[in-house]
Structure 1
Amino acid sequence: MAGKSGSKPFDPKDFLAKVGAGKTISKYQKDQTIFSQGEVADTVFYVQKGRVKVVVLSDQGKEAVVGILEAGQFFGEGCLSGHELRIATTTALEECLLTAIRKSTMIAALHDEPKFSELFVAYLLKRNSRIEEDLIDQLFNSSEKRLARLLLLLANFGKEGNPTPIKPQISQETLAEMIGTTRSRVSFFMNKFRRLGFITYNGKIEVHRSLLNAVLYEKPTLERD
């Protein structure tokens, strides 16, 4: 593999951006399924462009959106820890460009290339931190505050640079599934946020910094369940 003596230094971003042994790059159209729950798990995916929705189906047939992934994130890595079958269904929310890495190729890269291992471990740590935050959010915060936090995350608040409108458009049904409430409650809160000037909501959702201030400083405009 790259990075050996006398060869070009290994670049993990370059590794993920190019086709190679055990790697393919594919485009997925909006609403196209990438893999389905219950399928054989033998590949790790990396998002080069676009956003991917992760949905879990219960034994009773109830669906829940458990995540929305964006450029720079991996998914399907459960196959590295012994999952033989997919535990969720993933769908493109918009046109996506994805790198698919066979399990054996992924394991070899993690073993042989320290820079790639560092990148992947950093992703895992960040993802686990997000899972912990989501759990605390579900346990202690109202559905209104959970929606506010989700909108801030989808708008990339807290990252470098200015926040951007939420793209692609996320339906109220999807927002409701992600925070564990009903669509009617989400509709009520969205209209309230718009009335208070926290968001602009007219065909697309644009989140204003005032919503972040309301969440951080526990303003009474955000109720508790």
Structure 2
Amino acid sequence: MEKPAKAAFDAHDFLAKVGAGKTILELEKNDKVFAQGDVADRVFYIQKGKIKLTVLSQQAKEAVVGILGPGQFFGEGCLNGHPLRISTTTAMERCVITSITKKAMQAALREQPAFSELFVAYLLTRNSRIEEDLIDQLFNSSERRLARMLLLLSHFGKEGTPQAIVPNISQETLADMIGTTRSRVSHFMNKFRKLGLISYNGHIEVNSTLLDAVLHDKPELRDDE
């Protein structure tokens, strides 16, 4: 009698359920996953919600360095030998995340090609995003950086359909993310709204005209300081 075929490994199923070395965490808004300086011994995967990454300088100045959403990992620095966390991660809304011990993560990467492929693809995508952010900071005006950040936060993809940014992002957070002041962000946001590039309906909604202005380097986004 033939043995039943072994079920194929499902990377997303692996990440969604409790198992050896894995726990599912439910967080409320403003709950911290870990703080800068904590021991780095786990990797996290976001099932639902958004997580904010912040860094505190020696001068006690805080900067927002990223906002992550469903399908993204964080805390993976522990796999590269980082003994301590270099950032603080905070829930921006109700979140469900998978916590995976360093040992369980290494075993899954070693033993499950499907999971390894998913994780490598994520790392490559994130590395490309970091390079794009660096180029953005070096060469683009703060107005264009804000426009690009609004498009990224709204996951804009359906041309012609306004895309809401959920949860709402404060102007202070936007200023931190693009390296300018809150007053400049306020000025640009009001300008974008008057031009019909964005709208406010309880949440910030990004219109296709903003994408068009960024892609075609329209004059609307050239007036910086």
TM-score of the superposed pair, with normalisation by structure 2: 0.95
Cα 1:71–1:213 shift into 2, 3 Å? same
CA contact (8 A) 1:50 1:70 kept: yes
Q: Which residue of 2 aligns with 1:58?
A: 57
SS of 2:164's partner is coil
CA contact (8 A) 1:42 1:103 kept: yes
- May I ask how many residue pairs the two structures share in their alignment? 221
Greater CA drift, 33-42 or 200-209 = 200-209
What whole-Å deviation, never above 9, does each CA across 1:102-121 have from its counterpart, x for those lacking one? Answer: 00000000000000000000
CA contact (8 A) 1:155 1:163 kept: no
Q: Measure the CA separation in 2 of the matches of 1:63 and 1:49.
A: 25
Q: Which residue of 2 aligns with 1:186?
A: 185
Cα 1:129–1:13 shift into 2, 3 Å? same
Q: Which amino acid aligns with 1:14?
A: D
> 5+ unaligned residues in a row in structure 1: which ranges?
none
CA contact (8 A) 2:160 2:207 kept: no
Displacement of 1:7 in angstroms is 3.2
Cα 1:29–1:118 shift into 2, 3 Å? same
Displacement of 1:204 in angstroms is 1.1
| Alignment RMSD (CA, Å) | 1.6
What whole-Å deviation, never above 9, does each CA across 1:173-211 have from its counterpart, x for those lacking one? Answer: 000000000000000000000000000024310000000
Matched, 1:140 2:134: no
What whole-Å deviation, never above 9, does each CA across 1:63-112 have from its counterpart, x for those lacking one? Answer: 00000000000000000000000000000000000000000000000000
Q: Identity of paired residues, percent?
A: 69
CA contact (8 A) 1:198 1:210 kept: yes
Q: Measure the CA separation in 1 of the matches of 2:160 and 2:220.
A: 27
> 5+ unaligned residues in a row in structure 2: which ranges?
none
Q: Which runs of 4+ in 1 moved over 3 A?
A: 158-163
Displacement of 1:60 in angstroms is 0.9
CA contact (8 A) 2:64 2:173 kept: yes
Cα 1:163–1:100 shift into 2, 3 Å? farther
Q: Which residue of 1 aligns with 2:124?
A: 125
Displacement of 1:130 in angstroms is 0.2
